[in-house]
Amino acid sequence: MAFDNLTNRLQDTFRNMTGKGKLSEKNITDALSEIRISLLEADVSLDVINELLEHTRSEALGMKVTRDVEPSQMFVKIVNDKLIEILGEEKSELDFNQKPGILMMVGLQGSGKTTTIAKIANKLNKEGKKVLLVAADLARPAAIEQLKILGTQIGVEVFAQENSTPVEVVKNALAHGKDFDLILIDTAGRLQIDDALMQQLVDIQALTKPDEILLSVDAMSGQDVIHVANGFKEKLNITGLVATKFDGDSRGGSILSVRYMTQVPVKFVGVGEGIDELDEFYPDRTASRILGMGDIVSLVEKAQEKMDIEASERSAERMMKGQFTLDDMLIQLQQVSKMGPLSGLMKMMPGANQLAGQIDDADASSTMKKTEAMILSMTPEERNDPKIIRSTRKRRIAEGSGTSTTDVNRLLSQYEKMQKQMKMLSRFMGK
């Protein structure tokens, strides 16, 4: 996630406060000094830092300590509540008030604008909306072709015209799209804000009267993003931000800054290059993850979206009865693989952010693929009763999966340990 380094630094600060009977003014001052350095290193603007630290100092010095809660935990809660306020407090939804609903996507070149509008179209299409994508970026070579490819990939029609102007393209798209639920317009970007770009966007806004104008901002662009956002906001009715490359930068403080300085809500974050890798933005969940407290709700939602719940439940029921086979192991591996990189899942677990940083996703993925290949190289009888797998069978499985007998032995050893644990758990649960 974009805040990895910040999260790790803050966790160290809070850990140093743990166990203190009460917080003195010196404890609070020392902690705030460490937080200031962490935020500066994370590229958070001074305005945001000062607002957060002044509020935290005031609340911490005046807080009433209860017997049931450690002072350090109360301090974390103060920081958490203020972070949520800075990030926007409540989730901001797309809001369409006309038929068809109209959305404009704007931003600088390289901010991920075209890919992002396709991701949004994909999301809305999956929700049952009839979506039309409009290729109004005529400035960038291959922009139209890129949108057409993405449209084909997600099953959404793309309206495009060569040898025209962006305003004419949009005007014709409106006539063509009368029977659609939503029209999403990809506009031209520039390497920097200029008058010609802005006038073109102003003209399209006047023509379409869009319900939503989303600004694509690069989470890796540092404090420049505030200048960019304000430049667009001066001319256009920006209704939301989309932070792209949210998975690619360990700082990410610019998102805190741009949200606070512009007072425009963040609506989505891009968390990968895949067409499905666009998350709705929840201020409270993001604050929790920044502070290293995880995001269990998003983890559960990701599991529900990506996993075959019925297959998982059947497998889990057998496991609870102590009936854990290699087929069950395979099902669990395949379900976890669908949810994305292991380090990303670990970051959603409370307190596991630093552990996630030690995971090599490439190695983890390779190991899981090898394990899957070995299990699939076994016969149904072998998967159900691995005790029958002797030397000859091990060699056949290794050859069939492109692995070694050492790998097969390691897998069988891991399976045996897991099976013992499942049997112990089933006895404990009274199954």
Amino acid at 168: E
The annotation status of 245 as a binding-site residue, yes or no, is yes
247 labeled part of a ligand binding site: yes
Q: Is 246 assigned a ligand-binding role in the annotation? A: yes
22 marked as binding residue:
no
**Any known ligand binding at 107?**
yes
- Assign 179 to helix, strand or coil: coil
The annotation status of 244 as a binding-site residue, yes or no, is yes
Contact call for residues 263 and 281 (beta carbons, < 8 A)? no
Known binding residue 112? Answer is yes
Is 240 one of the annotated binding-site residues? Answer: no
| Contact residues for 7 (Cβ-Cβ < 8 A; gap 6+) | 1, 289, 290, 291, 292, 353
Is 188 flagged in the annotation as binding? yes
Strands 240-244 and 157-159, bridge-based pairing: unpaired
Check whether 318 is labelled as a binding-site residue: no
Residue 240 CB partners (closer than 8 Å, separation 6+) = 92, 94, 212, 213, 214, 215, 264, 265, 266, 267, 268
State how far the alpha carbon of 174 is from the alpha carbons of 94, 125, 268, in Å.
20, 18, 25
Strands (E) in 72-198, as ranges, are 101-107, 131-136, 157-159, 182-187
b or e along 128-147 (b: 16 or more beta carbons within 10 Å of the residue's beta carbon)? ebebbbbbbbbeeeebbebb
326 carries a ligand binding annotation:
no
- The reply to whether 110 sits in an annotated binding site is yes
Q: Is 108 annotated as a binding residue?
A: yes
88 annotated to a ligand binding site: no
Q: What is the largest CA-CA distance in the chain?
A: 75
**C-alpha dihedral, 69 to 73 to 74 to 75, nearest 10°:** 150
152 marked as part of a ligand binding site: no
Positions at the binding site:
107-114, 186-190, 244-247
Positions at the binding site for GTP:
107-114, 186-190, 244-247
